[in-house]
Amino acid sequence: MRSVELFAGAGGLALGCELAGFRSEAVVEWDRWACDTVRQNATASYPLVADWNVLEGDVRDVDWSNIAKKDIDLVAGGPPCQPFSMGGKARAADDKRDMFPAATEVIRTLRPKAFILENVRGLTRSAFANYYQYTLLRLAHPEIVSRSSETWLDHYKRLQVEHTSVASDLQYNVIPTVVNAANYGVPQQRHRVFMVGFRSDLDAEWSFPEATHSRFALEYEQSVTGAYWERHKVAMKDRLPAQSPAANARLTAMKEAGEIGRPWRTVRDAIEGLPKPTIRNSSKHLNHVLQPGARSYAGHTGSYIDLPAKTLKAGAHGVPGGENMLRNPDGSVRYFTIRESARLQTFPDRYELHGSWSEAMRQLGNAVPVLLAQTVAGSVSEHLALSDFRALASHRAEARASLKLITA
């Protein structure tokens, strides 16, 4: 299956799609450092992506004519999120960095069978309710484009009117879902909204994959059995205190009923096997260098080692919560190394990040966790394959029926 990746960044979503069976026709990214990261891994440490066609530049300036001639199965990407970020100016459509129009235009041009778009949870805030619904409608009907001098609100109203009656050749069934990456085996509490669309002419009934991991399963191993602490050989003084007998009884009942799945993965789980970082790079572990200067203060406490990490941020120092710092049981903190951060985003250890520590952390903070991307893309791939099988079966049934009429 063929795919195209927009706003690729360090390549987390693209790599997840590749691992799910898609083969990239183009990987588009404007930032030169991120492009260097992808190119470096495509030619050296990750041969799986050696044939990626990296296009450095603005997605709006790409000539899609040759790629449009191919049958593209998937368009994936994470449009820049500054217009909707909690830390941004929250200007939505009035922010020129809003890349949803550009993503929609690529979908209109390439007419993929499906698309996967990922963005910050802030897009679903009540302050953006109308614009969020407008975005979903625009993705559902990419051929109903905005007219010249038409405001987004006027376009939204027209989409609302035409949504139930339009006979556009290109329509998508769009399924938006807010997820926590920790519930899918990523050692990080990363809340994001996924907008997944299937072309309406396909027989594909899709829903977001079920969660596989849970906080309750982690609490069961930490508070009831102690298996987590024993596995990591954590001293008694460094362990979290057990919960109350009543809480442990509830956890045990949930475990016995098969309701809690697998335990959340923690920071300790993620960085297991890595040596304590020093200011010198290790030839054995790429990007594993200590970044000095971390300190803790009120509201800036880092990610506790025995829980999933806080959401990695694109800002170099992870303000305001110290998200890019590790906090030990004794309260001491240090910055995550680039390699540790890459593990929190489930990149393979042989995937090397290009640029300084702050630049690499920016790339990782903007990335989609590879494991989560693979989970979503894998489910989309399965449903596309099933749709193709159903279409083929239907075609054969029609052919047999026609043959019977001819020979009757």
What would the DSSP string read from start to end of 212-229?
A: -EEHHHHHIIIIIS-HHH
More confident residue, 1 or 97: 1
Considering the domain architecture, whether residues 248 and 277 belong to the same structural domain is answered as no
- CA dihedral of residues 6, 78, 126, 131 (deg, nearest 10): 0
Catalytic residue list: 81
Which of 136-140, 230-234, 281-285, 328-332 is predicted with the least confidence, judged by mean pLDDT? 281-285
200 close to 227: Cβ distance less than 8 angstroms: no
Considering the domain architecture, whether residues 13 and 139 belong to the same structural domain is answered as yes
Assigned domain for 54 exists:
yes
Question: Does residue 91 surpass a pLDDT of 50?
Answer: no
Which of 9-13, 174-178, 226-230, 384-388 is predicted with the least confidence, judged by mean pLDDT? 384-388
Token digits of residue 1: 């299956």
**CA pair distance 386, 393, nearest whole angstrom:** 10
**CA pair distance 145, 135, nearest whole angstrom:** 12
Smallest Cα–Cα separation from 80: which of 309, 314, 311? 314
Considering the domain architecture, whether residues 238 and 381 belong to the same structural domain is answered as no
**CA pair distance 334, 166, nearest whole angstrom:** 56
Considering the domain architecture, whether residues 113 and 219 belong to the same structural domain is answered as no
**CA pair distance 4, 77, nearest whole angstrom:** 8
Write down the pTM of the prediction: 0.90
pLDDT of 395 reads 64
In single-letter form, the type of residue at position 331 comes to G
Which value, in Å, is the radius of gyration of the alpha carbons in the chain? 23
Assigned domain for 403 exists:
no
φ, ψ of residue 216 to 5 degrees: the values are -65, -35
Token digits of residue 271: 């960085």
64: domain CATH number is 3.40.50.150
Considering the domain architecture, whether residues 29 and 125 belong to the same structural domain is answered as yes
Which of 74-88, 106-120, 147-161 is predicted with the least confidence, judged by mean pLDDT? 74-88
The domain containing residue 236 runs over which residues? 213-260
Assigned domain for 401 exists:
no
Q: What is the end-to-end Cα distance of the chain in Å, rounded?
A: 40
- For residues 98-108, give the mean pLDDT: 93
**CA pair distance 268, 309, nearest whole angstrom:** 9
242 close to 248: Cβ distance less than 8 angstroms: yes
Token digits of residue 112: 């993929």
61: exposed, middle or buried (C-beta count within 10 Å: 0-12, 13-18, 19+)?
A: exposed
Considering the domain architecture, whether residues 152 and 175 belong to the same structural domain is answered as yes
Band of the pLDDT at 399, cuts 50, 70, 90?
low
pLDDT of 161 reads 87
Helix (H) or strand (E) holding 116: strand 114-120
Number of domains in the chain: 3
Considering the domain architecture, whether residues 104 and 193 belong to the same structural domain is answered as yes
Task: Give the angle subtended at the CA of 265 by the CAs of 264 and 267, to the nearest 5°.
Answer: 130
- For residues 350-371, give the mean pLDDT: 92
Considering the domain architecture, whether residues 47 and 173 belong to the same structural domain is answered as yes
Assigned domain for 173 exists:
yes
Considering the domain architecture, whether residues 364 and 385 belong to the same structural domain is answered as no
- For residues 356-371, give the mean pLDDT: 93
pLDDT of 140 reads 95
- For residues 275-300, give the mean pLDDT: 86
Assigned domain for 55 exists:
yes
Band of the pLDDT at 88, cuts 50, 70, 90?
very low
Which of 88-97, 108-117, 131-140, 216-225 is predicted with the least confidence, judged by mean pLDDT? 88-97
Find which of 39-53, 118-132, 330-344, 347-361 is predicted with most confidence, using mean pLDDT. 330-344
For residue 39, count other CB atoms closer than 10 A to its CB: 17
303: domain CATH number is 3.90.120.10
Band of the pLDDT at 373, cuts 50, 70, 90?
very high
Task: Give the angle subtended at the CA of 178 by the CAs of 174 and 183, to the nearest 5°.
Answer: 125
Strand-pairing partners, residue 63, are none
Considering the domain architecture, whether residues 174 and 48 belong to the same structural domain is answered as yes
190 close to 180: Cβ distance less than 8 angstroms: yes
Share of the chain above pLDDT 70, in %: 87
Element counts in the chain: helices (H) and strands (E):
13, 12
In single-letter form, the type of residue at position 32 comes to R
Assigned domain for 6 exists:
yes
Assigned domain for 44 exists:
yes
pLDDT of 83 reads 55
**CA pair distance 408, 406, nearest whole angstrom:** 6
Token digits of residue 168: 């556009």
**CA pair distance 303, 43, nearest whole angstrom:** 34
Assigned domain for 404 exists:
no
**CA pair distance 260, 298, nearest whole angstrom:** 34
Q: Is 319 helix (H, G, I), strand (E, B) or coil?
A: coil
Question: Does residue 211 surpass a pLDDT of 70?
Answer: yes
φ, ψ of residue 172 to 5 degrees: the values are -130, 140
- For residues 394-398, give the mean pLDDT: 66
Task: Give the angle subtended at the CA of 109 by the CAs of 124 and 11, to the nearest 5°.
Answer: 60
Which of 137-141, 207-211, 311-315 is predicted with the least confidence, judged by mean pLDDT? 311-315
**CA pair distance 399, 78, nearest whole angstrom:** 42
**CA pair distance 302, 364, nearest whole angstrom:** 17
Mean model confidence pLDDT for the chain: 89
pLDDT of 86 reads 45
**CA pair distance 154, 36, nearest whole angstrom:** 41
Considering the domain architecture, whether residues 358 and 387 belong to the same structural domain is answered as no
Considering the domain architecture, whether residues 222 and 185 belong to the same structural domain is answered as no
